[in-house]
Structure 1
Amino acid sequence: MRAIDYFDRGHDIDPDHACLIDAASGETLSFAQVSKLTRQIAVALYAGGFRNQEPIALYGPNSAAMMVALLAIWRANGQWVPVNTRNAIDANAAYLNYVGCSWLFYHSNQSADVRQLKARVAGLRHFICLDRAQDGDLSLDQFIAKADGDALPDLSDPFGRPDDVVGLFPTGGTTGPSKGVVVTNSGWGTMIETVAQAVDGRTPAPVSLVVAPISHAAGPVALATLSLGATQIILPAFDPAAVLNAIAAYRVTHVYMPPTALYGLLDARQLADADTSSLKIFLLVGSPVSPEKLRRAVEIFGPCLCQAYGQVEAPMIVTWLSPEVVAAAAAGDRPERLSSCGSPTRSVMVGIMDDDGHLLPNGEAGELVVRGALVSREYYAMAQETADIRTFGWHHTGDIARRDDDGFYYIVDRKKDMIVSGGFNVFTAEVEAAITELSLVRECAVIGIPDAKWGEAVHAVVVADDIEEAVIIAHAKARLGGVKAPKSVAFVAAIPRTAAGKMDKKALRAAHWSGERMVN
């Protein structure tokens, strides 16, 4: 199906049901109202010169208007181009130039950046400000009012236009400029249906909290729950107190956030008095989660914690670790599964492969590879880069993993993050998991740094409260042995992050290495 068809399925359950509630403004829109607005915006786009399948960028903080605009892009059969508000303006300008974007919906909060984008992105010609007229650009209301009539081309076919492009999604990596991942209706629909199936059936009245950026993974999670008829409670940004208040006030049943946000909730002083009893699904996506913090989260929030693994090139839900499995592991039944990213979902084949293209048996570490409808089509205008990750008939994720005898997968590391110390492979994720078992450690990033004797030495960068380096090293040595334990620890106030919210290990390594080579 087309992306907008999933919203329409939710609409048809009960058009008068609350669809979007903007917690900041208090605005509430029913499914019927959102449907009407998306059609009006799509009509206005075509009246303004939009051509079927043109890229349309969306830039701003979370709001009901942002969600409406996103749905309208899909109503018009446009290609969504997310613009990350955390990116440097140079990075956003480069990406918009690269994908050839000519339309931009934005919030007035970003007006200073938009003025710079107008100067740097020659192809951008159409600007609509979501909340008000700004710098000569029409407001969304003005844009809708300017259009004559209500004619909208029939953009459907019996097959749901499987090869049309839903979006051009930036990879947001730390190894260079973002590549644009071309995601089609076929792959997007596979993801939406797989996520919806995983989180459905737990309550007759789902209410989903949107707190992570809509321009990142929160957008697809919202669409998956919208297809179930769920009300979306939209917060402008993550704030622990606001999240806890919203869960209690709106009786939120479903919430998605990255592990770093979960850690913020666990540290929040308001947590002790918070009512989170309504939660049925607390989905963690984006990076590995500390097993000890996941266990603690189950104690606090109940049997609702779950985890999915994916990447932009194979989005969101390659594997699934269900609330039932997590709750059992937290209670002591197969506790090692707190470190697992789950077992493969029905939409993909998953394997572990060595560098020569051989699939490996259970227990052996290798690159996690994927094939199936979930895999995205290609990198935009990058044929060689696409070919590089599609060797031996599989999509290569760049993640090192192993599979146990029950079919559960464990991410060991990113291929590029592996440390070779004294001839031994050290997987940083394993060391990070051991260090974050310590209750005084809030976050940890492990990197390799140059060492005259070992080639690379294991080095931990830690955010912690009143704990000594020797305690951390001794704990890691007891858990992992001397080879994998850090040789040194640096204490910092915060670990640098990429615009996508991931630990920026390239920035951490740069303080210790010179030149492009970051191995020794």
Structure 2
Amino acid sequence: MSSIDYFDRGHDLNPARAALIDVATGESYSFADVKARTEQIAAALTRHGFANQAQLAIFAPNSAIAMILLLACWRANAQWIPVNTRNAVDANAQYLAYVECEWIIYDRSLEAQVDEMRAACPKLTNLVCIDDLDSFIGDTTPADFIPPEVDAFGNLDELVGIIPTGGTTGPSKGAMVTNLGWGTMIETAAQEMGGRTNDPVSLVVAPITHAAGPVALATMSFGATQVILPGFDADTVLSCIEQYRVSHMYLPPTALYSLLGSPQLGLHDMSSLRIFILVGSPVSPEKLRIAVDTFGACMCQCYGQVECPMVISWLSPETVAEAATGYKPERLASCGKPTRSIQVALLDDDGAEVAMGEAGEICVRGPLVSKGYFKKPEATEEVRAYGWHHTGDIARADADGFLYIVDRKKDMVVSGGFNVFTAEVEAVITQLSQLRECAVIGVPHEKWGEAVHAIVVGDGLDEAQIIAHAKAQLGSVKAPKSVEFVSEIPRTAAGKPDKKALRIAHWGENARMVN
């Protein structure tokens, strides 16, 4: 199956059901409306010379039309090129040039940025403004659309998109995601999220041009209505949950922390929630416990990455709820158990599996894994050593198979010859209720090479109290030697803590930020 087949599966359940509700504009589209509009756009693209499996960038803030365009992209069997509105213009231009993209559909408010990107990308020659979409479509009707041919295997090796990696260690690489991998992700995610209500409603808050688009497609496959917000605002999210009886929601941990700190918390009915997924970075176990008390037995987590999207592992709402009540509470720090869609092993640097309870790199193989990096065979070969895809994440596994991510391989601090996993330190520090966020890095130290340094958001505690709390639970080696108080922690366009930027403040622009 291709991506659009999963939308059509949801459409066939009830064509008259609302598929998209745009909160900002008040517009609503049924599944039938969306199907017809995507067929019109796909037909127009073909009529204007768009080739099967050509690349198409979509550059727009969250809206119903942005979601329609993404679905139309897949109906035309295009290779989706995500362009994040939160990125710097030069970063987007660099990526579009790298993947040699020729087509872009964009929002009028971003026209100046598109002009800059076009100047830097000679092959970007086909530009369509959303405001001009009707004239681009012309008089075509859904009957004009002829779906691309598929073979008996459903063209499983064709690309759904070339999706940028985070680029935390340099320019983003393009992960080539196939129909097989995308379909495996959607089927697995839908199996975990579906069947919990007869009236599924999903709140879309995170950027559609990032992971929220695929999550929306997974929920649409079982008929969920998508309520779309232009961006995150804690009070608005809480209000929308009650107003639209939201059952499914997807947010990063930082957004959860904002919800928990909202003065509107407790003033709205949250009883409709069935699935509240936390993704993107580890969540504080203590904040997760509080979230269960606040939002109910709907909190869950999944773990994945662009090269192996979304569902390497799953931590179910039932498991989280049990842990929050005291049954195996350590599981609040877990990212779950491997799903049925993937084979997972924890390997050392020589490609051998580590003993249970020891830390090793999460390595995976199976249909979920992407085809490789676009025009980067050396980079692909590097992450596919020993016949596995190497995620770069370090984890331990317990006797029941639950995975506990302790760090990114590149984030580990080596202090006095000891390995300190920053995620472990962050989890302990964020137990303190006065602190909203924490990021831990290694900073230069003459004696130890690197010293553990904590950057925190919050007040009511001083440096000595935070260090003493960490030392009591982790010992002196892992406890931070210094604490820095900030109003906010810088983030990447994907919403993750920008540890590269944090390190630069202490190491300068050195390429090697370790001693």
With the shorter chain as reference, the TM-score category is: over 0.9
Partner of 1:143: 136
**Contact 2:40/2:145 (<8 A) preserved:** no
Q: What amino acid is the match of 2:17?
A: H
Say which SS state the counterpart of residue 136 (structure 2) adopts.
helix
Shift of 1:123: 0.8
Q: 1:221 aligns with which of 215, 219, 235?
A: 215
Matched, 1:416 2:410: yes
Partner of 2:512: 517
Shift of 1:156: 2.9
Partner of 2:118: 118
Q: What amino acid is the match of 2:414?
A: V
Q: Deviations over 1:413-457 (max 9, x none)?
A: 000000111111000000000000000000000000111111110
**Contact 1:308/1:316 (<8 A) preserved:** yes
> CA–CA distance in 1 between the matches of 2:39 and 2:497?
40
Within 5 Å, give how 1:55-94 maps onto structure 2. Answer: 55-94=55-94
Say which SS state the counterpart of residue 127 (structure 1) adopts.
strand
> CA–CA distance in 2 between the matches of 1:154 and 1:272?
50
Partner of 1:181: 175
**Contact 1:47/1:147 (<8 A) preserved:** no
Shift of 1:159: 2.0
Say which SS state the counterpart of residue 216 (structure 1) adopts.
helix
Partner of 2:385: 391
Matched, 1:204 2:198: yes
> CA–CA distance in 1 between the matches of 2:147 and 2:371?
26
Partner of 1:17: 17
Shift of 1:146: 5.8
Shift of 1:30: 0.5
**Percent of aligned positions with the same letter in both sequences?**
64
Partner of 1:436: 430
> CA–CA distance in 1 between the matches of 2:248 and 2:140?
37
Cα distance, 1:328–1:115 mapped onto 2, change above 3 Å: same
Q: Deviations over 1:214-240 (max 9, x none)?
A: 011101110000000110000010111
Partner of 1:372: 366
Q: Deviations over 1:480-499 (max 9, x none)?
A: 11000000000011111111
Q: Deviations over 1:255-288 (max 9, x none)?
A: 0011111111111111121211100000111111
TM-score, structure 1 normalization: 0.97
How many positions carry a matched residue from both structures? 513
**Contact 1:348/1:373 (<8 A) preserved:** yes
Partner of 1:250: 244
Say which SS state the counterpart of residue 289 (structure 2) adopts.
helix
Partner of 1:325: 319
Shift of 1:511: 1.4
Shift of 1:458: 0.4
Cα distance, 1:151–1:324 mapped onto 2, change above 3 Å: closer
- Flag structure 2 segments of 5+ consecutive residues without an equivalent: none
Within 5 Å, give how 1:255-274 maps onto structure 2. Answer: 255-274=249-268
Shift of 1:157: 3.0
Q: What amino acid is the match of 2:105?
A: F
Within 5 Å, give how 1:229-248 maps onto structure 2. Answer: 229-248=223-242
> CA–CA distance in 2 between the matches of 1:373 and 1:391?
17
Q: What amino acid is the match of 1:302?
A: G
Partner of 2:300: 306
Q: What amino acid is the match of 1:236?
A: P
Shift of 1:153: 4.2
> CA–CA distance in 2 between the matches of 1:9 and 1:87?
33
What is the RMSD of the two structures over their aligned residues, measured on CA atoms?
1.0
Stretches of 4+ aligned residues off by more than 4 angstroms: 146-149
> CA–CA distance in 1 between the matches of 2:192 and 2:114?
38
Partner of 1:191: 185
Shifted more, 368-377 versus 112-121: the winner is 112-121
Within 5 Å, give how 1:97-136 maps onto structure 2. Answer: 97-130=97-130, 132=131
Say which SS state the counterpart of residue 16 (structure 1) adopts.
coil
Q: What amino acid is the match of 1:473?
A: I
> CA–CA distance in 1 between the matches of 2:154 and 2:217?
16
> CA–CA distance in 1 between the matches of 2:232 and 2:58?
19
Shift of 1:155: 2.7
> CA–CA distance in 1 between the matches of 2:28 and 2:12?
18
- Flag structure 1 segments of 5+ consecutive residues without an equivalent: 133-138
Partner of 1:427: 421
Q: Deviations over 1:319-361 (max 9, x none)?
A: 0000000000000000000000000000001110000010112
Shifted more, 71-80 versus 152-161: the winner is 152-161
Partner of 2:281: 287
